Amino acid sequence: MDGQIYDLNKKRKEQGLPLLEKPIYIIYRVYDAESGKYKQTTKRGFKTKKEADKFLRNLHQSIENNTYVQASSMTLGEYLLEWYENYVKVNCKQQTIDGYYRNIKNHIIPGIGHLKLQKLTAMDIERFYRQRLEGGRMDGKGGLSAKSIMYFHRNLSEALKHARLKKIIPHNVADDVIPPRVKQFKSGVYDYPTILNILDKIKGYVVEVPFALAALAGLRRGEVLGLTWEHVNFEKKTLNICKTLERTSKGTNFSTPKSEESIRVIPMPEELCNILKRQKLIQQVHKEKYGPEYKDNNLVCCYENGEFIKPPNISKLYHNRLRLSGFTPIRFHDLRHSYATYMIRLGIPLNVVSKLLGHKSVSVTADIYVHVVKEMKLDAIDAQNKIFEEFRKNKKVTTENDSSDSKLFPQSNADTSFSVTQYQ
């Protein structure tokens, strides 16, 4: 970086012109990362050379510390579209790309896209969130939910994080914003007797196997519909979860699971194993029935002709079938919650349940199922209290019949010492 300080009043004094209050300006050159060239910039409005010199020294220090940000007139909207094209479309899954596009084009750009990126404040973002909460629906029928605002916040935070890394902005102002609190949704849960009862009633219907995979193995909807036979190991009784079926703007396609942790091998209970064996035999009959018209995608869950089931359709089929079978349906995703809840209640360690579910970390599992863990803690205290109560009751009865505690605590002249190893 190089720079020169100039005084406009020097010439004006020689020419007898009125002197300026802030005559000092600087011309300096800095390296522009976007163009890869040095860019000349003028900075005006200094009263004294001392002020200008201080500015240059601070500028030089910020460049040395790698914190310098080149002044830019780019708007937030312009940046978001560039970020979407150059980063989102290149690095994200199609479902994520679609979500970012909807949020950016339909909400963020119309709301605050006109603001200068470098002048964007936390107050601007908070004001935008409030406006969308009050009246942000596309159909004009009221405001958006706190969950929708949370998605906007994630989009903005991610986009501005990249802008800061590229030295376009000095600070990610989204970090200074606390989005509206999302009310925790209390999922419905089936117990295992209910699950087995439902499986008996929906046996032979298209929803039977998807229901079983979600309720007995904890698979997500996309994982259920994306499971293929080569990833079912009947000998080891395991499922290899390595792909998912998802609906996107480009159609319904196979994709990788949502995270690396979601790629997992999980054990099958005997009930599920038997259901899948029967499903394989049924599909063989269907293949013979349809012949060359059978669409063999090697899917575990599909229509009779082999065609894959779109994610939204399985939810509709599931709800309709359960109602017709006399059950009150919970969300399809809540079948996965039923599986996890039952595993935790069985005393399976939380880290193991987390692995079975394919969560990113144990903390994610703990956050989702904190209410189950809390209930189990209370159950543990109740059990402990019952033991104490039973002990006191027995001791009282014994004491009334025998003044000594010899029946509960027998005394002996024999050596009562023992080895710890006998309890290991």
Per residue in 199-215, pLDDT (tens digit) is 999 999 999 999 999 99
Q: Which of 64-68, 76-80, 146-150, 191-195 has the lowest mean pLDDT?
A: 64-68
Instruction: Quote the tokens at residue 229.
Output: 């036979």
- CA-nearest of 173, 169, 215, 209 to 194 is 215
For range 148-162, the mean pLDDT: 95
Distance CA 22, CA 295 (A): 79
Asked if pLDDT for residue 198 goes beyond 70, the answer is: yes
* DSSP codes joined into one string, 129-187: HHHHHHH--TTSSSPPPHHHHHHHHHHHHHHHHHHHHTTSSSS-GGGG--PPPPPPP--
Asked if pLDDT for residue 415 goes beyond 60, the answer is: no
pLDDT tens digits, residue range 212-271?
A: 999 999 999 999 999 999 999 999 999 999 999 998 888 888 988 878 899 999 999 999
Q: Which of 111-125, 134-148, 331-345 has the lowest mean pLDDT?
A: 134-148
User: Which pLDDT belongs to residue 233?
Assistant: 97
Asked if pLDDT for residue 131 goes beyond 90, the answer is: yes
Asked if pLDDT for residue 189 goes beyond 50, the answer is: yes
Contact 367, 340 (CB under 8 A): no
pLDDT tens digits, residue range 367-395?
A: 888 777 777 666 667 667 777 778 778 87
Q: What's the chain's Rg over C-alpha atoms?
A: 33
User: Which pLDDT belongs to residue 408?
Assistant: 41
User: Which pLDDT belongs to residue 424?
Assistant: 34
User: Which pLDDT belongs to residue 412?
Assistant: 43
User: Which pLDDT belongs to residue 402?
Assistant: 55
What proportions of the chain, in percent to the nearest 5, are helix, strand and coil?
55, 10, 35
User: Which pLDDT belongs to residue 396?
Assistant: 65
If you average pLDDT over each of 18-32, 127-141, 204-218, 385-399, which comes out highest? 204-218
Residue of higher predicted confidence among 58 and 140: 58
User: Which pLDDT belongs to residue 187?
Assistant: 78
Instruction: Name the band, by pLDDT with cuts 50, 70 and 90, for residue 401.
Output: low
Pure H helices in 206-269: 208-217, 221-226
Residue of higher predicted confidence among 396 and 186: 186
Asked if pLDDT for residue 417 goes beyond 50, the answer is: no
Asked if pLDDT for residue 320 goes beyond 90, the answer is: yes
pLDDT tens digits, residue range 269-310?
A: 999 999 999 999 999 999 999 999 999 999 999 999 999 999
User: Which pLDDT belongs to residue 391?
Assistant: 77
Q: Which of 12-21, 31-40, 332-341 has the lowest mean pLDDT?
A: 31-40
State residue 191 phi and psi, 5-degree precision: -85, 170
Instruction: Name the band, by pLDDT with cuts 50, 70 and 90, for residue 34.
Output: low
Contact 72, 163 (CB under 8 A): no
Instruction: Name the band, by pLDDT with cuts 50, 70 and 90, for residue 46.
Output: very high
Distance CA 296, CA 3 (A): 70
Instruction: Quote the tokens at residue 71.
Output: 């002044």
Give the largest Cα separation in the chain, rounded.
122
Q: What is the mean pLDDT of the chain?
A: 87
Contact 15, 62 (CB under 8 A): no
User: Which pLDDT belongs to residue 360?
Assistant: 87
Instruction: Name the band, by pLDDT with cuts 50, 70 and 90, for residue 419.
Output: very low
Q: Which of 156-160, 363-367, 405-409 has the lowest mean pLDDT?
A: 405-409
Instruction: Name the band, by pLDDT with cuts 50, 70 and 90, for residue 90.
Output: very high
DSSP code for 308? P
User: Which pLDDT belongs to residue 104?
Assistant: 96
User: Which pLDDT belongs to residue 413?
Assistant: 46
Q: Count CB neighbours of 99 within 10 A.
A: 17
Distance CA 37, CA 381 (A): 69
Q: Count CB neighbours of 121 within 10 A.
A: 12
Q: Which of 1-10, 48-57, 165-174, 338-347 has the lowest mean pLDDT?
A: 1-10
User: Which pLDDT belongs to residue 33?
Assistant: 62
